[in-house]
Chain A
Amino acid sequence: MFGKVLIANRGEIALRVIRACRELNVKTVAIFSEADRNSLHVRYADEAFCVGPGQSARSYLNVPNIIGAAEVAGVDAIHPGYGFLSENASFAEICTSHGIKFIGPPASAISLMGDKANAKQRMLEAGVPVIPGSGIIESLPVAKKFCSEAGYPVLIKATAGGGGKGMRIVGRDADLGAGLAAASGEAQAAFGNAGVYIEKLLVHPRHIEVQVLADEYGHVIHIGERDCSVQKPSHQKLLEEAPAPHLDADVRTKLCEAAVRAARSCEYTNAGTLEFLVADDGRFYFMEMNTRIQVEHPITEVVYGVDLVKWQIRIAAGERLTIRQEDVRARGHAIECRINAEDPDNKFTPAAGKLGSVLMPGGPGIRVDTHIYSGTEVPPYYDSMLAKITASGRDRAEAIARMRRALAEIEVRGVATTTSMHERILNHPSFIAGRTHVTWLREEVLARQAVGA
């Protein structure tokens, strides 16, 4: 096991890693920006180094200063947390070249899965379904053949596209010719390139992701799935739950098996997440792989009884993963609400400033991961997440009841938070019924709220 680990992150995830290290009897080194001098992760770590001013680019992304701190402190490994440098293959390589273990997958896996086209190709080779897409459309018959195989609706996209230009949704064969002509013309006008291709369009898919763990000896397992369909209009996740409600057992098995195949195909090690879009008919398609620990990892930890962060450290230290796939079983249900310093009534505009009184919930089935306390200064430079509340219960109904109770206990004075939005979500009939999809919040909650106002 490592003697000392540097945590190249801030906020609640830095605390989470420090806690895992403490339980493993590993010394910790925090890094911090001038804006985070009084942050809890600085206080809880055994040592701490200021690595730059408030702006992330000059502190939490300042590779020379982070490696400098690691060398001065004499650490064996660096845990990158999520965000910042966690999916930066070159940072992982630099750590290795300085004799410091990067707690995460090999740089080659980060690099491969970070490139969407290469990742998609690798998934196809591994037999993992990806969203069907055509090559450049050269004739209407070719387009028709693709659409009849993939099924309508489809999305026509410009090859040189971006910003929604040259895009058309086509719902039936009869409209395909007109759609192609319109998209192609728009693409020519916008980009000087009339080339278009077609992708199958999923209507109201769910975002379901699978947690994987892999050791450095070829043992790869999945730790179940998470449903992350409740997303802000910006596609950022707001609430996650495990297991995914109403997921057909056969689909779940296939999804998890595909995730393990995907991880094996890129010789993955450590913790990772395969994100899929799941259609109404149970078909699922690979979206991307997150080669790091996820924000929402606590719901998996609670439901499956696996400490993912400790396993990350143990695997990086060369230990064998001793969990057998057949031992991975969901026990009950868990929901996580992200309490962000954002105004849900004003397009989730982030807020910053000094917090007043902070009271966090507790009691049966409640886990709180947070770095804030009364009087904390919330700097404007970073992600606006203040806390993650995880509620668990014997079943989904109990988890929902506990989360409602926990939300009522939260007090964060001084900035607007997403707490009230979570209360709305947890009382919405579609959510209670477990019927959400990736645009549900925008279409069913925010749009109706706007109409109501």
Chain B
Amino acid sequence: MRPQQAQCGAEAKECRVTENSDGEASEELASFVAMRVAPLAKAFAQTPLMRIRVRTPEGWVTLEKSAHKSSDAARPTVARPGHVPRIQEGEPGRAYDTINAETVGVFRSASHAAEFGERIEGDRVLGYVEALRLRNPVTATSPCWFVAQAVEDGQAVEFGEVLFVVERGEAPPQPEAPAPAENGAAAIEPPRI
């Protein structure tokens, strides 16, 4: 979907949009922020994670919580031996997997919402996309750890839209050390479109 204007949610108001080489945030970037980043930031705020990196249809999004704001959210967990967070060379943040919409329609949450860090089996119904008077179940397709739901109940979704963020590694998602970056800033890379 292409909204008429960028409308960041409360959780995304502190976003700092990385400007492009011309020094101007493009219309596409504003749209990208409203369409992909705002819902993701809202979902991210509900998790104890300090950093999240997700591939959206238009490009990568990396969100970080500042240290002073995340103190109540950050929950110490023990990493399993041998678990290596998947951080791509030269890219900040850990890349999480996503479950994306195959159907265009209206998203409906599952009656029993998954929680952060919960182990999810492949056939677990995480939500539905309603279209043509049918409720199309959205499943994880393979076992994973639940991280966040990136869309809200009743929200219109298009093909490829990120519905859920999950961790398909062996270990559950781990809160990471806060970044030594500017306070309250979330870095968003320009969409690679």
Contact = CB atoms under 8 A, between A and B. Distances in A.
A50 B57 contact: yes
A64 B103 CA distance: 8
Contacts of A98: 132
Interface string A269-282: 00000000000000
Contacts, number: 62
Interface string A340-354: 000000000000000
Interface stretch (B11-19, B66-74, B156-164): B156-164
Indicate the member of A46, A50, A67 with the most B CB atoms within 10 Å.
A50
Given A34-B160, A37-B57, A71-B132, A48 B2 contact: yes
Contacts of A59: 159
Interface in B92-132: 103-106, 129, 131-132
B104 A68 contact: yes
Given A37-B58, A47-B1, A49-B1, A67 B158 contact: no
Interface in B55-103: 57-58, 103
B38 to A, nearest CB: 17
Nearest to B106: A72
A21 to B, nearest CB: 16
A111 B103 CA distance: 28
Nearest to B160: A50
Given A48-B2, A71-B132, A65 B159 contact: yes
Contact of A51 (B57, B104, B156): B104
Report, as a range, how many residues of chain B touch the other chain.
10 to 19
A68 B105 contact: yes
A68 B130 CA distance: 8
A167 to B, nearest CB: 45
Centre residue among B58, B129, B156 by max chain A CB count within 10 A: B156
Contacts of A49: 1, 104, 158-159
A93 B1 CA distance: 26
Nearest to A48: B2
A295 to B, nearest CB: 27
A298 interface: no
Interface string B154-179: 00101111000000000000000000
A59 B98 CA distance: 21
A315 interface: no
Interface in A72-91: 72-73
Q: Would you list the 9 A-B pairs with minimal beta carbon distance, nearest first? A: A68-B131, A68-B104, A65-B104, A72-B156, A68-B105, A50-B158, A49-B158, A48-B2, A50-B159
12 contacts: A34-B57, A37-B193, A38-B193, A49-B158, A49-B159, A50-B57, A50-B161, A51-B158, A53-B160, A68-B103, A68-B132, A72-B106
Given A50-B1, A50-B160, A64-B132, 13 more contacts: A34-B159, A42-B2, A43-B2, A45-B2, A48-B1, A49-B1, A59-B159, A64-B104, A68-B131, A69-B104, A71-B132, A72-B105, A72-B131
